[in-house]
Amino acid sequence: MHGFYRVAAAVPETRVADIGFNLARIKELVREADRASAALVVFPELSITSYTCADLFQQTRLIRRALSAVAELADFAKKMDIAIVVGAPLLHKSRLYNCAFVIQKGEIRGIVPKTYNPNYREFYEKRWFTSGKKFKNESVRVGKAEIPFGRNLVFECDDNFKFAVEICEDLWNVIPPSSYHAISGATVIANLSASNELVAKSDYRRDLVKQQSARCIAGYVYSSAGVGESTTDLVYSGHSMIAENGIMLAENGRFQRKGEILFADIDCERLAYTRFSSSSFSDNELPEKYTFIRMGKPAEPDPIFREIDAHPFVPSNPARRDERCHEIFNIQATGLAKRLEHTNSAKAVIGISGGLDSTLALLVSMEAMKLLGRKNKDIVAITMPGFGTTGRTYRNAVALCRISGTELREIDIKAACKDHFKEIKHNPKVHDVTYENVQARERTQILMDIANKEKGIVVGTGDLSEIALGWSTYNADHMSMYAVNCGVPKTLIRYLIGWVAENSGTELRKILHDIIDTPVSPELLPHNGDGKIVQKTEDIIGPYEVHDFFLYHTVKYGASPEKILYLADIAFKGKYKKSRLSDIQKIFIRRFFSQQFKRSCIPDGPKVGTISLSPRGDWRMPSDASAESFK
């Protein structure tokens, strides 16, 4: 469903060298994985025989029975769509190989030998097994069939879901085979392993899996031998993991006595997009002599077994909240400090409204002054009451500047706007876009002129969400000398201000929390009789949290509107109906395309996360591109 495929890492209960018992347990887990609509199930290294058979691997009876068990497993699964990867020894040209057998629809579709056999300390695989490094594009006869045999096999299930195999120690090597598999098109890597347990080894193993999945921009399914292995000198825990592009999707609890299976849904479509949109990935030279084996199309999961983050821009790990917020502030403040220093600016000039964006810009400006060893008095904060300014935002703006120790100036723009209405012959009773934009441009003119007068620069307050939607007045709040919030979406701004509030004194904390709770509004339309805000942005265009979700998946992963809506329905289940999400998406698509002309000439500003809409680097889109194909 929309490029998602369910994969499984299975750790069967095993007995050393008891092939009949091991096969029966493997069948049970295959059946369970198939019932769960898994497309791929991966078993541990040498799981048919068990890994710790030692010199029993030199017994022809064990080798022959293992191959017969693989054939029996294939026959068992002939009516299933699932691809099975299971470990067993293979005798070929008088040499024994530690192999992964790939099975689907009753057939052995390919056999992958282990490339790197460890031969140190507790591991002596070279005593029994030969490296399969030299085999790239060969075949072996199993029964009456000629089976592709080699380390360079890619199994193609569809255009996006293609998997390849490496075995245990292969991952520990300087250049794991999976690196070449990924360059050749495999979006999922299966690793059949038998990694023993030592103190803290699981941490290292986990890091390897995560990092290799990130390096390969791939899904990584890791299944390791369990507690049924021999404990003569070592203990095995059955560690299983499923990662995707550096993120651990699922991990089991180790040391389970009975067989278990771990599931996760990998977004193969996202992986494929991330690869072709990453120039460094395509710069890799394609390896030679790869064989591509066309597999049957497996089942697609519906619903998906995957949590979809409703707020993808917001740091998801609470334990690292301080670290992440400090980092974001440092990026913003360092950028502004450099601009102030380079332009030899005496002042940073900010329009302060009592809203989210100008509050964050003020906090960042204060941090920049600290980096430069300057006082907050070098920040000129200007509040400019207009026809829609309410007492709540005005009081918060004034109180915030007072506590912060900035220079506060108040310039009422109503009289100047009325004069301008006369000059352009606009009826002030007509509260249209002209009525609103006259105020926005009057404020920006004031800021620019004061910045000239004070030998300073105007610090822009507009955020990434507004830039995406074009929710700004051209040549008004659209313009500044440095836009500190241009890489920060609205959901993250709330989060950052909340973090500052929690680390502030009582008075400032109270003000910041009230700013967070204030409805987002440009306050350009007259308020009602009781002084409350009447022009609420999210009532007009929809919740920013939903727009930020659409923005993230559109720009970062190039997902189709249908897929994004599918994901949004999961992420916001119980909060917004799908029909409501669809309506908001239509607004997002229309505005994202129609307002590109504003993004084509936005000021400089720091990129904070992986998404930016700067026309100079991250987002280069024609201003007159049509949205028709995206509706």
On whether residue 582 sits in a domain, the answer given is no
pLDDT at 145 exceeding the cut of 80: yes
412 plus 490 within the same structural domain: yes
Whole-structure pTM value: 0.91
At 319 the pLDDT is: 83
Could you give the CA distance from residue 36 to residue 46 in angstroms, rounded to a whole number? 24
Higher pLDDT, 120 or 329: 329
At 310 the pLDDT is: 96
At 196 the pLDDT is: 83
533 plus 604 within the same structural domain: yes
pLDDT in tens, 54-87: 999 999 999 999 999 999 999 999 999 999 999 9
Could you give the CA distance from residue 490 to residue 498 in angstroms, rounded to a whole number? 12
At 358 the pLDDT is: 97
CATH number (domain holding residue 57): 3.60.110.10
Q: φ, ψ for residue 615 (rounded to 5)?
A: -75, -10
Average pLDDT over residues 141-161: 93
Q: Is the dihedral of CA 524, 526, 532, 537 positive or negative?
A: negative
**Which member of 168, 216, 325, 417 is catalytic?**
168
Cα 28 to chain centroid distance, Å, stands at 34
Average pLDDT over residues 15-22: 96
Average pLDDT over residues 417-427: 97
On whether residue 503 sits in a domain, the answer given is yes
Task: Indicate the residue type of 15.
Answer: R
232 plus 269 within the same structural domain: yes
Q: φ, ψ for residue 97 (rounded to 5)?
A: -125, 140
324 plus 257 within the same structural domain: no
On whether residue 204 sits in a domain, the answer given is yes
Tell me if residue 510 is catalytic: no
Could you give the CA distance from residue 554 to residue 557 in angstroms, rounded to a whole number? 6
94 plus 173 within the same structural domain: yes
Mean pLDDT of the chain: 94
CATH number (domain holding residue 415): 3.40.50.620
On whether residue 587 sits in a domain, the answer given is no
Residues in CB range of 171: below 8 A, 6 or more apart: 178, 191, 193, 208, 209, 212
| 173 secondary structure, DSSP code | S
SS3 386: coil
On whether residue 567 sits in a domain, the answer given is no
Reading the block at residue 429, the tokens are 């009773």
**Which member of 13, 45, 169, 197 is catalytic?**
45
Residue labelled with tokens 């091991």: 22
355 plus 394 within the same structural domain: yes
Tell me if residue 338 is catalytic: no
pLDDT at 44 exceeding the cut of 90: yes
The number of helix segments (H) and strand segments (E) in the chain equals 20, 22
328 plus 285 within the same structural domain: no
Confidence of residue 122 (pLDDT cuts 50, 70, 90): low
Residue labelled with tokens 């209960």: 13
**Which member of 114, 162, 210, 347 is catalytic?**
114
Number of compact structural domains in the chain: 2
290 plus 322 within the same structural domain: no
347 plus 470 within the same structural domain: yes
Tally the C-alpha atoms within 13 A of residue 83's C-alpha that lie toward its C-beta. Answer: 32
Tally the C-alpha atoms within 13 A of residue 430's C-alpha that lie toward its C-beta. Answer: 10
By residue range, what is the domain housing residue 452? 318-538+597-609
Tell me if residue 601 is catalytic: no
pLDDT at 121 exceeding the cut of 70: no
On whether residue 381 sits in a domain, the answer given is yes
- What would the DSSP string read from start to end of 339-374? HHHHTT-SEEEEE--SSHHHHHHHHHHHHHHHHHT-
On whether residue 308 sits in a domain, the answer given is no
Last residue of a domain, one of 257, 278, 294: 294
Confidence of residue 100 (pLDDT cuts 50, 70, 90): very high
pLDDT at 507 exceeding the cut of 90: yes
On whether residue 504 sits in a domain, the answer given is yes
290 plus 247 within the same structural domain: yes
Could you give the CA distance from residue 110 to residue 104 in angstroms, rounded to a whole number? 10
377 plus 474 within the same structural domain: yes
Contact present, 541 and 547 (Cβ < 8 Å): yes
pLDDT at 124 exceeding the cut of 90: no
517 plus 384 within the same structural domain: yes
